[in-house]
């Protein structure tokens, strides 16, 4: 596997872990003292929203700050157009993302109504922005040192 592909897979594992609300899987993509920096891009002016430092803090945030999925619900991250630059054991990436809320309709006890076809439910975009991580190869494995998340919309965090 090329370094570019290995770096891209770190982001792929991160978004799948986030969608599954699996804090351990998300934290495993970070160096031990890895950092998440979250910003809102208010007309191009970055406003800090929060910061997490260390794998334990990152895992805890996924478990306690991200809303649980509703019944028949899921979130689905998509990442697009990664720009990856590698210099030895350091890498930088800039990738666009969109998060969708997916809610399946409950199947009626009498079955789907006549004429119903295809997927039953809704897919709604709920978040977008850029992932801009810095990664380091540690013992042959690429890990996030810092994951900068730049959101297109402001976010309210619990607590």
**Tens-digit pLDDT string for the chain (159 aa):** 899 999 999 999 999 999 999 999 999 999 999 999 999 999 989 999 999 999 999 999 888 777 777 888 889 999 999 999 999 999 999 999 999 999 999 998 998 888 888 889 999 999 999 999 999 999 999 999 999 999 999 888 666
* DSSP 3-state of 152: coil
Q: Are 109 and 125 in contact (CB under 8 A)?
A: no
Distance CA 111, CA 84 (A): 48
* DSSP 3-state of 55: helix
Q: Among 3.40.50.720, 3.40.50.300, 3.10.450.50, 3.40.80.10, what is the CATH number of 3-67+78-98+128-151?
A: 3.10.450.50
Whose tokens are 């540690």? That residue is 138
Q: What is the pTM for the complete model shown? A: 0.90
């Amino acid at each position: 596997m090329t370094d570019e592909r290995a770096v891209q897979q770190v982001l792929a594992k991160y978004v799948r872990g986030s969608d599954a609300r699996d804090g351990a899987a998300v934290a495993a993509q970070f160096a031990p003292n890895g950092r998440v920096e979250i910003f809102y891009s208010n007309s191009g002016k970055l406003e800090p929203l929060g910061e997490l430092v260390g794998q334990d803090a990152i895992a805890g945030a996924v478990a306690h700050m991200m809303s649980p999925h509703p019944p028949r619900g899921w979130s689905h991250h998509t990442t697009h157009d990664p720009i990856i630059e590698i210099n030895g054991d350091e890498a930088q990436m800039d990738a666009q993302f969109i998060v969708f809320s997916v809610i399946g309709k409950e199947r009626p006890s009498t079955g789907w109504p006549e004429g119903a076809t295809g997927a039953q439910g809704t897919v709604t975009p709920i978040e977008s922005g850029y992932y801009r991580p810095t990664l380091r190869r540690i013992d042959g494995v690429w890990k996030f040192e810092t994951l900068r998340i730049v959101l297109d919309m402001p976010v309210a965090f619990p607590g």
